[in-house]
Structure 1
């Protein structure tokens, strides 16, 4: 994934990565939230300290599907956006996950419908039921908040 330095295994259940942009960070968090099995710590700090800040944010552990944030600015706001996104993702059907996954991968609605072998109307209905527009708005808000916190 662009902007992600790869993942380092810290133990049986822990991984860590340095991520160089707000967009890449949001993409990683979205992927981990979509999986549903990860507790996520996000550290927004000076060069070289973000990993430690993320570890500190998560503490001794966390509940799967949660995001805890360590930052000088906007940590509660960033965590709140990810909480709302996680809630929306947890309510999705398998069909909704397939549809939004293709959209996140860069397909347009017509291409995604063709890939799934469904009509354009069915694709539109799946995206609506999955809360695709809310996800996009949340993702943009998270990117903007992280960018502001990182200044």
Structure 2
């Protein structure tokens, strides 16, 4: 399992933004099937929220979306949870919850350019997953508004969308769309995402084998 703990940054300055954030998270995690969280996000304590996932790819997607938004520190714990899981995320327990707590505290470090940390039963795989996710998020943070416009449109159009479709909607040439995607390093991010998910699964694998 994967426990994702997210803590608001600077709440004393900007105020508590947990409730609108929870509403946004609910929209981001509406996918049916295994990508939906096993237990949805809810406030745990203070300005912190937490959810439980089974699908590593869903965790990667969510983490990158939250980091793009900014203003939140993200911790991922990969490992077993105590079963049966209670209905409330707040009542959950087990190693993955402890690892997520360690991770989000590490993510709050001021020396981190990207406020993300991953902790797992396989510590090396967890750090590898963290490194790849941090790099992917850092690359995305340098993306121009024009690059995000194309990336977001292709995401909205779906898996089968073509560059020609994006060009037609934006009223620009296919060559311009292709140039924006190359500059945005979108193909590289698409390749990194499943690699990060596999590393998360490896971080949890030691626990999975012992079940």
TM-score by length of 1: 0.87
The CA deviation at 1:21 is 0.2
Instruction: Structure 1: give runs of 5+ residues left out of the alignment.
Output: none
Counterpart for residue 191 of structure 2: 137
Determine whether 1:17 maps to 2:51.
Answer: yes
State the partner residue of 1:120.
174
> Pairwise mapping of residues 37-76 of structure 1 onto structure 2 (< 5 A)?
37-48=71-82, 49=94, 50-59=96-105, 62=108, 65-73=114-122, 74-76=125-127
Contact residue 16 and residue 51 of structure 1 kept, 8 A? no
Deviations 1:83-127 (A, max 9, x none): 111210111111111222233342332223233332211111111
Determine helix, strand or coil for the equivalent of 1:65.
coil
Take 2:76 and 2:154, find their aligned partners in 1: how far apart are those partners? 25
1:102–1:147 CA distance, 2 compared to 1 (3 A): farther
**Structure 1 contact 109–120 (Cα < 8 Å) conserved:** yes
- Aligned pairs, number: 151
SS in 2 for 1:47: coil
By percentage of residues, which structure has more strand?
Answer: 2
Larger Rg: 2
Aligned partners of 1:37 and 1:100: how far apart in 2? 22
How far apart, in 1, do the equivalents of 2:119 and 2:52 lie? 14
